[in-house]
Structure 1
């Protein structure tokens, strides 16, 4: 099978990282995979082959005819069986290129979040509706993500749909030490965007400090709201209690060294960082948003009603004072059984074969 994976940018973001890892496993299973990035970037992704950079322009993404033409040339030259759009502008570029230049190809959209949360007006909904009417299949990262996209675009019921979660890679780990002594270490991993709710992270941490002064917060990630959060930390006199790390390509050693991972997000699809924490035997406390409840429950972590900071703090405090070792064991066993990328790649292959089989039957 020939597969073209299209990503937004050569960047260390969840969609690009997962597409790279998935592509490597698909190659291991004997398939020919190429990767195409719309925009350049300076990250080093794990894909074992060459990533072709289109050089599209984000300033003219609605009229980027030259980029659409180049996509057409790449598709006609490679002749892939499956073309997968991995978030960002990838679906937009693929559909507009196909409409303008008339190339043939099966387009699979990977739905990794909750699109309904981003539809701000009638134009956005109508335009995205146009895009999704022209896809051949949608792979959603969680049942919640699939329900959300069907609620907003019910015509997709007639499309090939599948729920395929994100997976993990086994990696070599180095030993990392965080704050020592009696200090308990709390970690949050995520880009500084509104979805990740860093203001909520600060609120929860301040409440926790009222219960236990021997705690330290570790924030991993970059993003547009980072400077705002740094300023708030200074204003509240918390600089000695909070460490900012910026982007880290492999946060697993830090997650392993922490006493608890927190994720009070506003929007999520299926966050890989929860699976990473479970794999590293670090307890997780998270809001019940998106598909989080599909992997986190009372048997393997702490699932809190969205916005309930009081209960969130209570759960973090409980985990720090008395870790539930059975809960931690259950979480790791689940990840090893269901969420490693070798298995996830087989699930994608089965979906691709199902799509191709349905297309052949339609001929």
Structure 2
């Protein structure tokens, strides 16, 4: 098959990285694959075929006829059997380009989050419904994401499949630090979904019991300065290390005793799989598809959203019960090895594409 992936930007964000890794595995399966990026960027994405940028004007996303034409030209030149839209504005561009310029390839949409969390008005729901009615199939990243999507847009019930995101086989070297120091870690962009304020309050409570514990915050984003100021306000800045963006997150996760994920919105977070992969225990909020990975007493600690006190207690339990923690991490490692490696998941995407192509004949 000829498969075209659309990404938002050449950046090392989850959606773009996964689309690139998936494309690389699809190449290995014998398909012809191309990736086009709506916007420019300087990230070196993990796809040997290269990523071409359309350089559209995203601030005109609702009326960018020139951008829609650029996408149509790329599609008409490549003649793909399927087109997959991967997060951001990719679905808008794919749908409007297809309507205006009448290319024929079916659109697959990768739903990687909880759609209802971003629909705050009747107009937003109507507009997203308009886009989704023009999609041939949806690949949702988790059962929770699928259920949320179908509840919001019931007409998608029979054309949505759950295919999780996954991870790659990777080499890693734990970050060197004093063996007497105990580190926790959080990995994620500084956005409201990741709930950094709640994270810092949880860490404050942990620190009050274990004053020598330290935490790495790996990631960057628009809220970083605000969170740095909040750390000063809570008098815990001395115990935090803001690492910014790091290409080697496994080095940090593998060196930490616990990964914390107190998010308020998630699809199926790859960082949890990465922690499972390197045998670092996870304490996470029960949001989105997190509960499909983290099971209390089996693969980690799963906490009800907004219960910060219970979250802190779980972190302390993870630190204080090494034998139990070791058992959890072995189970978690086995789970990610069995179900969440990209090489395996690429074959599931391949099956969806084949079924879509056959149904369109």
Per the TM superposition, whether the score is higher than 0.5 is yes
Over the aligned positions, Cα root-mean-square deviation in angstroms equals: 1.0
**Separation (CA, whole Å) in 2 of partners of 1:264 and 1:117:** 16
In the superposition, the TM-score normalised over structure 2's length comes to: 0.97
**Separation (CA, whole Å) in 1 of partners of 2:166 and 2:106:** 24
Does the 8 A contact of 1:179 with 1:216 survive in 2?
Answer: no
Query: Which whole-Å deviations, capped at 9, do the CAs of 1:100-149 have from their partners, x for residues lacking one?
Result: 11111110000000010001111111110000000000000000000111
Instruction: Please report how far the alpha carbon of residue 303 of structure 1 lies from its aligned counterpart in structure 2 after TM superposition.
Output: 0.6
Structure 1, gaps ≥5 residues long = none
The aligned residue for residue 358 of structure 1 is 359
The aligned residue for residue 347 of structure 2 is 346
Query: Which whole-Å deviations, capped at 9, do the CAs of 1:253-311 have from their partners, x for residues lacking one?
Result: 11000000000000000000000001100000000000011111021100111111111
Query: Which whole-Å deviations, capped at 9, do the CAs of 1:135-194 have from their partners, x for residues lacking one?
Result: 000000000000111111111124x2210001111112124223541x321100000000
The aligned residue for residue 107 of structure 2 is 107
Tell me the secondary structure at the aligned position of residue 16 of structure 2.
Answer: helix
Tell me the secondary structure at the aligned position of residue 37 of structure 1.
Answer: strand
The aligned residue for residue 319 of structure 1 is 318
Q: What aligned pairs does 1:41-52 form with structure 2 within 5 A after superposition?
A: 41-52=41-52
Structure 2, gaps ≥5 residues long = none
Instruction: Please report how far the alpha carbon of residue 249 of structure 1 lies from its aligned counterpart in structure 2 after TM superposition.
Output: 1.6
Tell me the secondary structure at the aligned position of residue 275 of structure 1.
Answer: helix
Tell me the secondary structure at the aligned position of residue 259 of structure 2.
Answer: strand
Q: What aligned pairs does 1:182-331 form with structure 2 within 5 A after superposition?
A: 183-298=181-296, 299-323=298-322, 324=324, 325-331=326-332
Q: What aligned pairs does 1:56-135 form with structure 2 within 5 A after superposition?
A: 56-135=56-135
**Separation (CA, whole Å) in 1 of partners of 2:237 and 2:272:** 26
Query: Which whole-Å deviations, capped at 9, do the CAs of 1:70-126 have from their partners, x for residues lacking one?
Result: 111111111101100000000000001111111111100000000100011111111
1:7 aligns to 2:7 (yes or no): yes
**How many residues get paired?**
358
Which contiguous aligned blocks of 4+ residues in structure 1 show a shift greater than 4 angstroms? none
Instruction: Please report how far the alpha carbon of residue 356 of structure 1 lies from its aligned counterpart in structure 2 after TM superposition.
Output: 1.6
Tell me the secondary structure at the aligned position of residue 240 of structure 1.
Answer: helix
In the superposition, the TM-score normalised over structure 1's length comes to: 0.97
**Separation (CA, whole Å) in 2 of partners of 1:295 and 1:195:** 19
**Separation (CA, whole Å) in 2 of partners of 1:155 and 1:338:** 29
The aligned residue for residue 138 of structure 1 is 138
Deviates more, 1:108-117 or 1:245-254: 245-254
Does the 8 A contact of 1:20 with 1:45 survive in 2?
Answer: yes
